[in-house]
């Protein structure tokens, strides 16, 4: 019974993790840019939902629809104006660039929102679903379903739409795609926009569950690192599998080794994966 409950906890958590990591993985895979800003984008999306609910009573599920276009635009503009200038630079420089931008964004949020933790509390609460003795909180369940749906939509977009195919083409071979008439710069900007969109849209989901503060960004970013490496870089199914795997590993890790080691365990796993299976659990399959 305990194991089943823990498995359920882990899967629900893992759904959220998948959503955190999908956009991050996309940007990394296609642009070869590690977007340190990703964690802060999630937090910013969370604040959007918090204030929308506190001031106007807008349900966080609705806030996702507001956040999505806003963050897409934000990401698109950021890529076009700044990040594109460094796209071909060594790893160290692009990393430093997004790190610097992240310092600015998180400091800005700190000034605007203060470091007090904010908690979006739904009234009335959504309650708990009891499945044969296994307790499943409905808000988490909804958040997980929506997170997986969002991730699925991203997958469909990439595999079915014209622009999605162009993104996949750029990811596989930039030069060839450019020769085929794909506007690589635009694709980069769209991809970065999509990454920001995923971050901004997962913010409201997480805000329903975790207290938010401008300083939670690095925690989410750390999860995204591990999930990307677990699932394999730049693939949506990979992010999904990686997220679920991390959720389950953390849950059972806390059970077997004690909760203080859950984080250590996931990071150790990251290093081991990098060393022994750098293509991720699924192998490097790409977006198609």
Partner 1 sequence: MTSILPRRALAAIAMLACGAVAALPGTSMAQGTIRIGAPLPITGPLSPEAKKLQNGMNLWVETANKAGGIKVGAKKMKVEIVYVDYQSNTPRAVQATEKLITQDKVDFLFSPFGSGAAKAASSVSEKYEMPTIAATASSEQVYDQGYKYLFGVYTPNQTLTEPLADLVKKQAGGVQRVAILARNDLFPLAIAQEMEKSAKKRGMNVLYFEKYAIGTLDHASALSQIKAVAPHWIFATGYINDLILIKKQMSDLGIEAPVVTMVAGPAYKEFVSALGKSAENVTSAAWWHPAVRYTSKDVFGSTENFNKMFHAKYGTEPDYGEASSAVSGVVLQLAIEAAGTLDKKAVRDALAKMNTMTFFGPIKFGPTGQVVSLDPPVFQVQKGRQVVILPAGIKQGDLQLGVK
Partner 2 sequence: MRKSALLAAVLFLLVALVPLAGDAYWLRLGTTMLMYGVIAMAWNFIGGLAGYPSFASAAFFGLGAYAGAVAQKLGVPMGLAWTLAGALSLAFAALLGLALLRLRGHYFAIASLVVAEVLRELVNSATDLTGGGMGLNLPVPHDATVASQSEFFFYAMLALAAITFAAMLWATHSKLGFGLRCIQQNESAADMLGVNTTLYKVAAFMLSGAFAGAAGAIYASWVHYIEPPDVFDVLYSVKAIVMVLLGGAGSVFGPLFGAAIFLSLEELVWRNYLQVHTGVLGLMIVLLVLFLPKGVFSLRLPWRKGKP
- Find the Cα–Cα–Cα–Cα dihedral 47, 53, 59, 60, rounded to 10°: 10
Query: What is the Cα–Cα distance from 33 to 234, expressed in whole angstroms?
Result: 11
Joined tokens for residue 84:
């594109």
**Is 196 a residue that touches partner 2 (CB under 8 A)?**
no
Q: Which is nearer to partner 1, 76 or 113 (CB)?
A: 113
Stretch that binds partner 1, among 8-16, 30-38, 83-91, 226-234 (CB under 8 A): 8-16
Query: What is the Cα–Cα distance from 62 to 100, expressed in whole angstroms?
Result: 32
State the minimum distance, in angstroms, from the CB of residue 233 to partner 2. Answer: 9
State the minimum distance, in angstroms, from the CB of residue 136 to partner 1. Answer: 8
**Is 137 a residue that touches partner 1 (CB under 8 A)?**
yes
**Is 103 a residue that touches partner 2 (CB under 8 A)?**
yes
**Is 13 a residue that touches partner 1 (CB under 8 A)?**
yes
Q: Which is nearer to partner 2, 152 or 218 (CB)?
A: 218
Query: What is the Cα–Cα distance from 200 to 202, expressed in whole angstroms?
Result: 6
Continuous H helices in the chain: 2-31, 38-56, 60-81, 91-113, 138-160, 162-172, 174-179, 184-207, 217-231, 236-257, 262-276
Per rule CB under 8 A, count of chain residues that contact partner 1: 40
**Is 32 a residue that touches partner 2 (CB under 8 A)?**
yes
Asked if residues 105 and 37 have their Cβ atoms less than 8 Å apart, the reply is yes
Which of partner 2, partner 1, none is residue 9 near (CB under 5 to 8 Å by kind)? partner 1
85-92 long-range Cβ contacts below 8 angstroms, 24+ apart: 87/31, 87/33, 87/188, 91/34
Asked if residues 19 and 243 have their Cβ atoms less than 8 Å apart, the reply is yes
Name the residues that contact partner 2, by CB under 8 A: 28, 32, 34, 82, 85-86, 89-93, 95-97, 99-108, 110-111, 222, 225, 229, 260-261, 263-264, 267-268, 270-271, 274-275, 278
Name the residues that contact partner 1, by CB under 8 A: 2, 5-6, 9-10, 13, 110, 114-117, 119, 121, 123, 125, 128, 130, 135, 137, 140, 209-211, 213, 215, 219, 223, 250-255, 258-264
């Amino acid at each position: 019974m305990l194991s089943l409950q823990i498995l359920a906890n882990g899967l629900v958590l893992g759904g959220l993790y998948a959503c955190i990591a999908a956009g991050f993985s996309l940007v990394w895979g296609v642009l070869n840019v590690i977007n340190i800003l990703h964690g802060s984008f999630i937090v910013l999306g969370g604040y959007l939902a918090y204030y929308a609910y506190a001031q106007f009573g807008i349900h966080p599920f609705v806030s996702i629809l507001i956040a999505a276009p806003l963050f897409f635009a934000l990401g698109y503009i950021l890529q076009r104006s700044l990040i594109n200038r460094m796209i071909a630079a060594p790893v160290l420089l692009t990393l430093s660039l997004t790190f610097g931008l992240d310092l600015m964004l998180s400091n800005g949020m700190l000034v605007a929102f203060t470091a007090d933790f904010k908690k979006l509390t739904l009234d009335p609460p959504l309650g708990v679903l009891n499945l044969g003795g296994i307790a499943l909180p409905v808000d988490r369940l909804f958040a997980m379903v929506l997170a997986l749906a969002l991730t699925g939509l991203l997958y469909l977009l990439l595999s079915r739409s014209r622009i999605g195919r162009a993104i996949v083409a750029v990811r596989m071979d930039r030069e060839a795609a450019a020769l085929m008439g794909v506007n690589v710069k635009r694709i980069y900007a769209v991809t970065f926009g999509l990454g920001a969109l995923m971050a901004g849209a997962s913010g409201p989901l997480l805000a329903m569950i975790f207290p938010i503060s401008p300083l939670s960004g690095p925690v989410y970013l750390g999860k995204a690192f591990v999930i990307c490496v677990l699932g394999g870089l730049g693939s949506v199914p990979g992010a999904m599998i990686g997220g679920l795997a991390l959720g389950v590993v953390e849950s059972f890790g806390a059970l077997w080794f004690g909760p203080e080691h859950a984080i250590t365990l996931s990071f150790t796993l990251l290093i081991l994966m990098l060393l022994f299976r750098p293509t991720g659990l699924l192998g490097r399959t790409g977006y198609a």
